[in-house]
Structures are given as structure tokens and as C-alpha cells.
């Protein structure tokens, strides 16, 4: 499963890092880092991250 | 570069302190921060945006009961265990379990009910050509939206509004004086919450409370006590804020009537209207943080324990980030921080955004040439502000 964050929208709140800490983290500079190729077993966590993002900047791309 | 000693100073507990003032604008032009009688105030957009999410700061209200001489009891137990003041994994665990019920996917289907509610309330006063906006629209709307969300009969809204306002006294300077009332209201809200939780355990459905009761992550779920605490936080955090923000929206659009006229013909701009009102005239005029370690930011030494107020309205109209800071529904603007930010970003913002986006275009269409008619009463600018009473006159439209 491919994960994509639109950096033009992302405001580095870090809510995604609460929902799916294995995929998203806020680095020491306060900037989001994330895995873009994620095992399907983490789908529920990533979907929660997509939903919770205050600026709705996270997208899942299936079938790539 | 300003040093702490030479930075501008504000007495933010003075009832006359005003965010929309030449003194604050002049301070913002001179320095990114100011001194206050309760710590440092951050005035500019870029610095607010960074510090709001800075992990060297925590939410600043955990010690509120202690600062007011309250060390135990029903209010103390509720406050110190609620999501607003929890940190780290204690916070994240509860947030993970609460978040899915607030997903925009689950809130979007409520839009039709929000619109119907706004129409019903507007029908009640439109023909008269005048209203007291807080009493006739903002308060019943904000409270009945909560009832819809929680599955409480809408007819009970006056009780919920009274209890929410009473718990709200806990944020005032007279907490100790008001403590008995506050605890009475928390007790009554607990009874509502317990009844809802028990009912959904017995009859789970597709509604909001059922989602919270059934929420489960890897075998972990909210205890009934945690859920009860969260429901009271939702009522406490969701009613006054939306009521106040709707009143502030009317104030903004009265001062920008061409934007109100634009919104009347463009209901698709409802969401933008919410963002613009919250950027330029938010009810939460500041967000409070506390330093958990010594650090230096942008030339300023911030000692552990320092209170840092992030001024939302002042930073949302900072000319360095918004060259033309006036409300503009057709403009492109950086995000505002009226819902706070970082790990403590407002949990219910999708609900607030949806319900206000439903209400504002409808009011713009039906209330033409709106002006204030008589004496409005306002809360002070510190903390959560808004009108207490807002008498309006307007030309009715069907």
C-alpha cells in the first residue's frame, strides 16, 4: 500500500503520528517524516491517520 | 531583536485588554513576542505556527485547579484525567480511541440535519426582522448540534446549555467560589453520559456514542469512566465555543457586509467563511503552552515552567503572513490556529466546521442588511471571547 502526504497541505500537527506511529513521525525539527510503502497489515492505523489529519493531507494509493 | 526586558508588556487579566487594538498591532510590528503578567505572548504567525507544535512545550492547563487552590474532588478528578491536559502515551491512547468517531466520513452525513436545524431556528425570528442572535440562534444551534451528535433528545437542549455554561465557570477567575456549582453540573452531566453509555452497550447502533462504546484498538478500549469523562469534555468544549464563534462571525460580517452579500449567493463558500472568521476573529484568542525544558527559540531564552500564550487572532492577522489581513472568502490563506494545533489540536473541529458552514450561508441568505440594534454585551478578550448578547436588526428574506 502506498502512502502519500501532500506537503503543500501538511502543517506538521503530528496527529498521524499518534494514529500510526510506525508509519508517521515528527522529527526533531518539527517536520513530518513517513514511510511511503507500507505493509497492508497497518491499513487500519493508516486509515485512522488519513481521517484524523486536520488538514486532510494524507492519501492512500492502492494497486501501485 | 527584542530582549525579554525590552519587549512590549500586556496585562492580559485586565478586562479592558483588547486583541484588536493599536497597542497589540504596534507590539506585533516591533517584536514577535510580548511579556505578560502570565508568561510570554507570541504575536506573529510563523512563530505561533512553530511553537504551537513544538514538542518542548506541553498543553498549559494541567495545573489550573491547583493554581486556584483546588486539590481534590469531582472537578479535580475530571480535569486532571481529561484529554485536554493529558500528555504522552496517556493522551495518545485515549485520542486514538476517540478519533475515529470524529472522522469527517461520519460527520458529513449530519450536514442535512445541521441545515434543517438552522432553517428551523431562522424561521422562528426571520419575519420579525430582528433578533437577539445569541439567545435566538447561536446558543440553541450550538447546543442542539451537540444533542444531535450525542443522541440526546433535542428538547433537552436548555438543560445541556445550562450545564455546559456552568462547567465553563471552571475556566473563570472565581473557580473556588464557583466550585460547588461546577461540581454539581459535572455530576448531572455524568448522569447523562452514564445513561447514554449504558443504553449503547445494550443497543449498539451506527451512532456517535455507539462508535465510542465499541471503539477498540488491538484489544484496548475506553473504560466507561474514560468515556464518561470524554463526553463531559465534549459538551464543555463544544457548546460555548461554537455559540461564541457564531456570534463573532456575525460581528465580522457586519463589518464586512460585501462578504456577507457574497456568501448569501454562494453557499459553497460556507466552509471558507468559517476559516476566514476563525482566522481573523476566533473565540479562542490564545492557546496556552508550558515549557517542559529550558530552550532558546528565535533568540529568546525560555525557561522550563514558562507559560507561553500563542495569540491566535493576532497571528492570524499578522501582515508578515497575510499582506491583506482582512476577511476575504475568495482569497487563499495559510491555515489559522483557531482550533489550536499539534497533538492537542481540537478533537471536534470537523463537527464545528461542518455545523458553522451549514449555518452561515443560510443566515446570509435570509438576513439581509444586518446591523447591531442596541447595546451588545461582550465577554473579555482573554481566553474564550464572544458576545453574551447581540441584538440585531435586518431585512428578512424567505
pLDDT 10s digits, B239-249: 999 999 999 99
Rounded-to-integer distance, Cα B357 and Cα B181, Å: 34
Read off the CATH number of the domain in which A35 is found: 3.30.70.20
Residue B1 lies in a domain: no
Total domain count, chain B: 1
Whole-model pTM: value is 0.96
CA distances from A57 to A32, A49, A53, A60, B196 (A): 12, 10, 7, 10, 34
Per-residue pLDDT of B46-86, as tens digits, reads 999 999 999 999 999 888 899 889 999 999 999 999 999 99
**Average pLDDT, whole number, for chain B?**
95
B341 — contact with chain A (CB < 8 Å)? yes
Which of B87, B334, B343 to substitute to test the interface with A, most A CBs within 10 Å? B343
pLDDT digit string, tens, across residues B220-235: 999 999 999 999 999 9
**Residue B384 confidence (pLDDT):** 84
In DSSP notation, B319-381 reads TTT-SS-S--TTS--PPP-TT--GGG--TTHHHHHHHHHHHHHHHHHHEEEEEE-S--EE--S
B142: containing domain: 9-396
CA dist B167 → B136, B151, B247 (Å): 22, 20, 20
Cell digits of residue B285: 484568542
Which chain B residues are within 8 Å of A54, Cβ to Cβ? 339, 341, 345, 349
Query: Length of chain B, please?
Result: 398
Residue A5: the pLDDT is 98
Looking at residue B69, what is its pLDDT? 92
- Comparing C-alpha atoms, which of B47, B10, B32, B25 is closest to residue B382? B10
Is B271 within a domain? Answer: yes
CB-CB neighbors (< 8 A) of A15 in chain B: 99, 343, 345
Residue B203 banded pLDDT, cuts 50, 70, 90: very high
> Whole-angstrom Cα distance, residue B377 to residue B375?
7
pLDDT of A63 above 90: no
- Domain for residue B112, yes or no? yes
User: Is B255 contained in some domain?
Assistant: yes
Q: From CA B317, how far away is CA B307, in angstroms rounded?
A: 23
Overall size of chain A counted in residues: 64
CATH number of the structural domain spanning residue B230: 1.10.630.10
Residue A42 structural domain: 2-61
**Total domain count, chain A:** 1
Segment among A26-40, B159-173, B198-212, B288-302 with least mean pLDDT: B159-173
Q: Which residues pair with A61 in a beta bridge?
A: A2
Structure ipTM: 0.96
B377 falls within a domain: yes
Domain membership of residue B4 (yes or no) is no
pLDDT digits (tens, 9 = 90+) for B134-186: 999 999 999 999 999 999 999 999 999 999 999 988 887 788 999 999 999 99
Phi, psi of B308 (to 5 degrees): -125, 115
Amino acid at each position: 500500500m502506498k502512502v502519500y502526504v501532500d506537503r503543500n497541505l501538511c502543517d506538521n500537527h503530528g496527529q498521524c503520528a499518534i494514529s500510526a506511529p510506525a508509519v508517521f513521525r515528527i522529527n526533531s525539527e518539527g517536520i513530518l517524516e513517513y514511510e511511503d510503502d507500507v505493509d497492508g497489515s497497518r491499513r487500519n492505523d493508516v486509515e485512522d491517520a488519513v481521517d484524523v489529519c486536520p488538514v486532510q493531507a494524507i492519501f492512500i494509493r492502492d494497486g501501485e | 531583536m527584542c530582549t525579554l526586558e525590552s519587549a512590549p508588556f500586556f496585562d492580559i487579566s485586565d478586562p479592558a485588554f483588547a486583541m484588536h487594538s493599536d497597542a497589540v498591532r504596534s507590539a506585533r510590528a516591533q517584536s514577535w513576542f510580548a511579556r505578560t503578567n502570565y508568561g510570554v505572548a507570541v504575536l506573529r504567525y510563523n512563530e505561533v505556527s512553530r511553537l504551537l507544535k513544538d514538542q518542548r512545550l506541553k498543553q498549559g492547563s494541567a495545573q489550573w485547579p491547583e493554581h486556584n487552590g483546588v486539590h481534590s474532588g469531582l472537578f479535580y478528578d475530571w480535569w486532571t484525567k481529561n484529554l485536554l491536559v493529558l500528555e504522552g502515551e496517556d493522551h495518545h491512547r485515549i485520542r486514538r480511541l476517540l478519533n475515529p468517531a470524529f472522522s469527517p466520513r461520519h460527520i458529513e452525513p449530519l450536514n442535512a440535519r445541521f441545515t434543517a436545524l438552522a432553517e428551523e431556528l431562522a424561521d422562528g425570528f426571520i419575519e420579525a426582522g430582528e433578533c437577539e442572535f445569541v439567545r435566538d440562534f447561536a446558543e440553541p444551534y450550538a447546543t442542539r448540534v451537540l444533542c444531535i451528535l450525542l443522541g440526546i433528545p433535542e428538547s433537552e437542549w436548555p438543560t445541556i446549555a445550562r450545564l455546559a455554561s456552568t462547567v465553563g465557570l471552571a475556566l473563570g477567575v472565581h473557580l473556588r467560589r464557583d466550585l460547588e456549582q461546577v461540581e454539581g453540573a459535572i455530576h448531572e452531566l455524568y448522569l447523562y453520559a452514564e445513561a447514554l453509555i449504558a443504553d449503547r452497550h445494550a443497543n449498539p447502533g451506527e451512532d456517535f456514542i455507539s462508535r465510542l462504546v465499541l471503539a477498540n484498538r488491538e484489544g484496548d478500549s475506553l473504560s466507561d469512566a474514560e468515556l464518561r469523562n470524554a463526553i463531559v469534555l465534549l459538551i464543555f468544549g463544544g457548546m460555548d465555543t461554537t455559540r461564541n464563534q457564531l456570534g463573532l462571525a456575525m460581528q465580522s460580517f457586519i463589518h464586512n457586509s460585501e462578504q456577507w452579500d457574497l456568501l448569501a449567493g454562494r453557499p459553497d463558500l460556507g466552509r471558507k467563511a468559517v476559516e476566514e472568521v476563525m482566522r481573523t476573529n476566533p473565540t479562542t484568542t490564545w492557546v496556552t503552552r508550558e515549557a517542559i525544558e529550558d530552550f532558546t527559540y528565535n533568540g529568546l531564552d525560555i525557561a522550563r515552567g514558562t507559560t507561553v500564550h500563542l495569540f491566535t487572532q493576532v497571528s492570524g492577522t499578522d501582515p508578515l503572513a497575510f499582506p491583506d489581513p482582512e476577511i476575504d472568502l475568495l482569497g487563499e490563506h495559510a491555515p489559522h490556529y483557531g482550533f489550536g494545533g499539534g497533538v492537542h489540536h481540537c478533537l471536534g473541529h470537523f463537527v464545528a466546521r461542518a455545523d458553522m458552514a451549514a449555518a452561515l450561508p443560510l443566515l446570509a441568505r435570509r438576513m439581509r442588511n444586518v446591523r447591531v440594534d442596541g447595546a451588545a454585551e461582550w465577554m473579555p478578550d482573554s481566553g474564550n471571547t464572544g458576545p453574551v448578547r447581540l441584538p440585531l436588526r435586518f431585512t428578512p428574506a424567505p
